[in-house]
Structure 1
Amino acid sequence: MDSSFRIDLAWMLRTGRARNGSWLSGSLSWSRGGEEVGSIGYQAIMHQPGDERLELSYTRGSGKDREQVRQTVRLCHTVPQYGGKRWWMICPFRHIRVGKLYMPPGGDRFASRQAWRLGYQCQRDAARDRPFERLFRLQKKLGCDQGWEAGLRRPKGMWNRTFDRHMERYWELDDECALEMMVVMRRLGGWPSPV
């Protein structure tokens, strides 16, 4: 899902790109590494009770394969116990209530994660990669270089006791990474078995 374009209705409502009782239009764009990689136009039509929807318009492909796409996504809402409205999109293919729609690389329309059979990153990570991923996330969280044995440094303004907790976790993850590397090296024949 990480490389998919995503439409998040809750985010659109929070940021004023959609509003209950209004008809708003604009554009959504996606970027990677600071460079725009895609954009679409939209209309959030929420002023007609029972006919709320998003109208999406975008171009797919290039050259003679270029296609102008208009896609309608129906909206509905539920009423939580604490009041107000919680808005949902209806997946155009599975007809289920969802908060987010995706278009993966090579996809042609926005649909639910279930329709595209998209998994979460943690579902795709091999078990042996998970300690490394957790280690890299910790390093990223603290603004450090990422990499096994790249270490940690205390960010300016962080309490020593907070950093000590992070360091303790770092060493636990470093040990897990070392064990995984030992298993891989043994399988490849580059690491001696324990005596």
Structure 2
Amino acid sequence: MSKKIDLAWMIRTGRAKPGQWISGSLSWNCGGEPAGSISYSANMEDPSNSILRLSYSRAYGDGREHVEQTVRLVFTEPNFGGRRWWMVCPYKHVRVAKLYLPNGGDRFASRKAWRLAYNSQRVAYRDRAFEKLFRLQRKLGCEEGFDAYIRKPKGMWQRTFDRYLERYEELDAQCAGEMMSLVLRLGGKL
């Protein structure tokens, strides 16, 4: 489980404001238990020289290391107006929306710098149909599992549910095919 700093979230929640210098702390939870915290100061007074300074301690071996990390902030101006703020990865020097500190890591850096993959990239090809089926079941608030049927949530249009039902049946057939091929590969008989 990586710790993550999301600049857009910080701006949305008032933890960083363009044109201002704001200090505070960020904390993480894992299963409802505290999993760490850091102090920060976001200096966005001068848009062309904005920085995010992170200050935290990390354990290594028998000791502790105090880390001061500075991240440059830049912005782009989308076609529809306004400014979109980015952090510059201290290692890859690319604009990113989020920085990560994985377990065992020593500094915040981009997903690319840490070579972190998305969960969907870790799913084996033969398991993708199951993952899609379970996601559809979660979306509809139904029990998850192979052969667990879906039901129409209250307030959903029938034609929308019919579309989901058609997709469910396609995925269910794909899952059945995967299960059959697995059983045949293992040399079993049905």
Amino acid at match of 1:160: Q
Give the match for residue 169 of structure 2: 171
1:8 partner amino acid = D
| 1:48 counterpart = 2:46 | yes
Q: 1:88 to 1:123 in 2, by over 3 A?
A: same
Question: Does the 8 Å CA contact 2:100/2:111 hold for their aligned counterparts?
Answer: yes
2: CA distance between counterparts of 1:81 and 1:122?
Answer: 31
Contact 1:182 1:191 in 2 (8 A): no
Is structure 2 residue 145 aligned with structure 1 residue 158? Answer: no
* Secondary structure of residue in 2 paired with 1:66: strand
Write out aligned runs for 1:1-195 (5 A): 3-61=1-59, 64-191=62-189
Deviation at 1:191, TM superposition (A): 3.4
CA distance in 2, matches of 1:179, 1:32: 37
State the 1:160 CA deviation. Answer: 2.8
Other structure's SS at 1:184 match: helix
Q: CA deviation at 1:117?
A: 1.1
Residues in 2 aligned to 1:62 and 1:115: alpha-carbon distance in whole angstroms: 21
1:146 to partner: Cα distance: 1.6
Task: Report if the CA contact (8 A) 2:47-2:74 is conserved.
Answer: no
* Matched-pair contact (CA < 8 Å) for 2:40–2:52: yes
Q: TM-score, normalised by structure 2?
A: 0.90
Conserved in 1, the CA contact under 8 Å of 2:129 and 2:175?
yes
Deviates further, 181-190 or 64-73? 64-73
What do the CA deviations read for 1:34-67 (whole angstroms, capped 9, x no partner)?
3332322211111134321111122222783322
CA distance in 1, matches of 2:157, 2:47: 52
Kindly tell me the number of residue pairs found equivalent between the two proteins.
190
Q: Secondary structure at the match of 1:26?
A: strand
The 2-side partners of 1:176 and 1:42 are apart by: 49
TM-score, scaled relative to structure 1: 0.88
Query: What CA RMSD, in Å, does the superposition of the two structures yield over aligned residues?
Result: 1.9
CA shift for structure 1 position 30? 2.7
Partner Cα separation in structure 2 for residue 142 and residue 36 of structure 1: 31
Identity fraction in percent? 63
Q: Is the 8 A contact 2:28 2:34 kept in 1?
A: yes
Cα distance in 1 for residues equivalent to 2:84 and 2:33:
33
* Structure 2, unaligned runs of 5 or more: none
Q: What is the alpha-carbon distance in structure 2 between the residues aligned to residue 69 and residue 191 of structure 1? A: 59
Change (3 A) 1:126 1:6: same
Task: Output the CA distance in 2 between the equivalents of 1:160 and 1:130.
Answer: 27
